Amino acid sequence: MSNPDKKISIAICGGGISGLSLAIGLLRYPHLSVHIYESAPAFSEIGAGISFGPNAMRAMNLINPSILRGYDRHRTENGSKEKKDSWFDFRWGMDTRSGKAGEWFHSTIAKATGQSSIHRVSLNRVYDWHWSCTGGSVCLIFKSFPRENGALCWA
């Protein structure tokens, strides 16, 4: 007979956006013990801004609505009201023979989301806040941390 109190161990390879999002999604299941294994030596402030499209924003909400709420608090978006729903504007490149260089020719529209971005460090703070408030248990183990020295754990 199986032990109903025994936790199932889940290993997630990679502490990037997908790995962290998966871990948050799994927090709703108290019978799981989640460990994220990251090959980078640590998270750092080095990184770029990340843009999310409408599908990614819907996925955030499906995984856990607090991820999307945190993203919404920290994101930047198009400042112009006319461009609120624009995802991308396309312009002709440097074809000097056609005389169209720099002219607009198409916009991709994403109603209700438009284009938005967040810095990687700000997104990590959204994840940190989520873990500290959920009562779930996740351990993030960096390559540079020997097992005996521990890891970053939220419990």
Per-residue pLDDT band at 130 (split at 50, 70, 90): low
What is the CATH classification number for the domain harbouring 68?
3.50.50.60
Per-residue pLDDT band at 53 (split at 50, 70, 90): confident
Which domain, by its residues, includes 90?
79-114
Does 143 lie in the same domain as 132?
A: yes
The answer to whether residue 57 sits within a structural domain is yes
Rounded alpha-carbon distances, angstroms, from residue 118 to 2, 48, 51, 52, 115: 45, 9, 7, 8, 11
Please indicate, yes or no, whether the overall pTM of this predicted structure exceeds 0.75: no
Does 69 lie in the same domain as 128?
A: yes
More confident residue, 71 or 127: 71
Does 29 lie in the same domain as 99?
A: no
Question: Residue 106 CA to chain centroid, in angstroms?
Answer: 28
More confident residue, 102 or 13: 13
Is the Cβ–Cβ distance between 91 and 103 less than 8 Å? Answer: yes
Total domains in the fold of the chain = 2
pLDDT at 133 over 70: no
Kindly report the CA angle at 104 between 97 and 118, in degrees rounded to 5?
125
pLDDT tens across 79-127, in order?
Answer: 888 888 888 888 877 766 667 767 888 888 888 788 888 887 787 777 7
The answer to whether residue 2 sits within a structural domain is no
Does 103 lie in the same domain as 127?
A: no
